[in-house]
Amino acid sequence: MTTVQLMNRLVSLEDRINDALVNGTRQQEGLVTKLKHEIVKSIDDLTKAFEKVWVELKREDCLDQSRIMSKISDVALTAEQHKEQILRRMKYIAAEREDRLIEKIDASKDSLTNLILSRRTANKCYGKVDVSGLLTADERLFPVVYDFSLIPGFETNSDFGGGWILFQRRFDGSIDFNRSWSEYRDGFGNLVQGEFWLGLQKLYMLMRFCPQELLIVVELANGTALYGHIEEFAITNEWDGYRVKKIGRCKGTWCVKCLVSTKNSMFSAYDRDNDVDLRNCAAMHGGWWYYACGQER
């Protein structure tokens, strides 16, 4: 092969190589362009999908918020309704209590008026004070004896008059009188039909307003009823041990020295020994104004 032929052949080969490079570059550029388009399309598709998902999420979130707000509104409405109900109930209770308070005040005014009248009557020495007018059968504040002739075996020529507040009743042993200080202070037993002790505090309050007399009726084993009528009787308050402050002269068929000896004696219960005896008299015999444990009561 001559040099000219070789050179021609090299030139032809160079042209072919250049053509191949040009074609390869164009193919690569086309491929790159295609990839770019695919990437852009993928990005667009992802963006659209994200936007769709975002819209869905926002819509669901709005729905959740709407549900929450709806529930909050329901709770607020229920709370307001409960508040209104409570306020209405409170107003009703307040009105009811006010009515009851007015009734109690009116009743207290009537009782106080009667007590004042009774005290004035007693202070003017117009005779015995009839306490039956202070009480009604419905209230049953205190048991009252109106007719002593109803007591079996009880006979006397004395005119006791009026209603007497029954302070203690014992006749069949159905009630245990070995009680504590608080029970003797507040009272215990069956006021209507059974045995009872009315209460030291009630007795003290009654004696604060007007002088009181004391009538003791005792029935013996043979059925005979005896009585002791003490012209004046008064006790002090709890702080002073319900001490016997006054005890007047006794008249009747049952007047014992022990009653006179109780003057200035404080009341004793098994849990509060106030007597001068070294022994606990109340623990052995029940509550009373003891001077000594052997005294009759």
Same domain? For 157 and 228 the reply is: yes
- Residue ending a domain, among 62, 90, 122, is 122
Q: Does residue 291 lie in a domain region?
A: no
Decide which of 257 and 217 is more confident. 217
The b-or-e profile of 98-110 (16+ CB within 10 A means b, else e) is eeeeeeeeeeeee
Domains of the chain: total: 2
Same domain? For 74 and 166 the reply is: no
Asked if residues 147 and 127 have their Cβ atoms less than 8 Å apart, the reply is no
Q: Does residue 137 lie in a domain region?
A: no
pLDDT in tens, 152-190: 556 665 666 656 888 898 988 999 999 999 999 999 998
Of 198, 178, 129, nearest in space to 287 by CA: 178
Q: Where are the beta strands (DSSP E) in 190-249?
A: 196-197, 212-219, 225-235, 244-247
Q: For residues 136, 137, 139 and 142, what is the CA-based torsion angle, rounded to 10 degrees? A: 80
Q: Does residue 139 lie in a domain region?
A: no
Taking the C-alpha atoms of residue 165 and residue 237, their distance in angstroms, rounded to an integer, is 19
DSSP state, 132? G
Helix (H) / strand (E) element for 285: namely: helix 281-285
Chain-centroid distance of CA 213 in Å reads 39
pLDDT in tens, 97-149: 666 777 766 666 566 555 554 444 444 333 333 444 444 444 345 666 655 66
Q: Does residue 296 lie in a domain region?
A: no
64, 168, 200 from 196: Cα distances, Å: 72, 6, 12
263: containing domain: 145-285
Taking the C-alpha atoms of residue 251 and residue 257, their distance in angstroms, rounded to an integer, is 12
- Structure pTM? 0.52
Q: Does residue 292 lie in a domain region?
A: no
Helix or strand or coil: residue 167?
coil
Q: Does residue 165 lie in a domain region?
A: yes
pLDDT class for 263, splitting at 50, 70, 90? confident
Q: Does residue 132 lie in a domain region?
A: no
Same domain? For 271 and 210 the reply is: yes
Same domain? For 14 and 46 the reply is: yes
> What CATH number does the domain containing 238 carry?
3.90.215.10
Decide which of 41 and 212 is more confident. 212
